[in-house]
Structure 1
């Protein structure tokens, strides 16, 4: 089974604040995530992503879910399929997003040099 086939846990009640900007977000999701360590072995884990109305603005999948949640304060049974489809689209984009290694390396060097 691939990671994409694993369960996704979506949290609507009291999700954590956005780790990038600190703003409250309406939803978070957790899903399986793995990487290869220095020896090439697969390391399994779990990744959590936040839907942030500030940081995710102008991302089509995020905008669709944000608009839906702005209109629907509570989820009715008739809206669950739409919510599911919008959430799945957002998680697929978030799951594919990778770390900008150059930016991470630059920030690490600035931190070592006392510039952060």
Structure 2
């Protein structure tokens, strides 16, 4: 799959949306889905590299270790770039769980959220 993942730079990565802990890196990942009319829809999803949630993922662990050893990212560092490319190759945006979304919408309608 050939896709362009955008690594977003800022003072600090946002907190991990899964655990709430500090993130190491933030990126925008392209993805597509088929809507109710059967048309392909393209979009972007944000992905945060989390030292806790992603530590056991083979494509993420070496990059997490690099951050622990080196601190700040440096696009001039060949090892960092190699690890970043390997991480990006394994990153994906999960498919939308429409049943879970519908259940959450119904729960919100009933005042449960």
With normalisation by structure 1, the TM-score equals 0.73
User: 1:49 and 1:76 mapped to 2: Cα distance?
Assistant: 19
Kindly indicate whether structure 1 or structure 2 has the higher relative contact order, using CA contacts under 8 Å at least 6 residues apart.
Answer: 2
**Cα distance 1:56–1:76, how it changes in 2: closer, same or farther (>3 A)?**
closer
Match of 1:16 among 14, 17, 22: 14
Count of aligned pairs between the two proteins: 109
How far apart, in 1, do the equivalents of 2:96 and 2:35 lie?
18
Contact 1:35 1:42 survives alignment (8 Å): yes
Deviating 4+ runs (over 4 angstroms): 113-116
Could you state the TM-score of these two structures normalised by the residue count of structure 2?
0.74
Residue segments in structure 2 that go unaligned for 5+ positions in a row: none
Distance 2:50 2:101 in 1: 25
Q: In the alignment, which residue of structure 1 is the partner of 2:94? A: 98
CA RMSD of the aligned region, Å? 2.9
Say if 1:28 and 1:8 are closer, same or farther in 2 by CA, change over 3 A. Answer: same
Tell me the secondary structure at the aligned position of residue 27 of structure 2: strand
3-state SS of 2:91 partner: helix
Aligned to 2:67, what secondary structure does the other structure show?
helix
Instruction: Name stretches of at least 5 consecutive residues in structure 1 with no aligned partner.
Output: none
SS at match of 1:58: coil
Of 92, 103, 107, 1:108 maps to: 103
- Bigger share in helix: 1
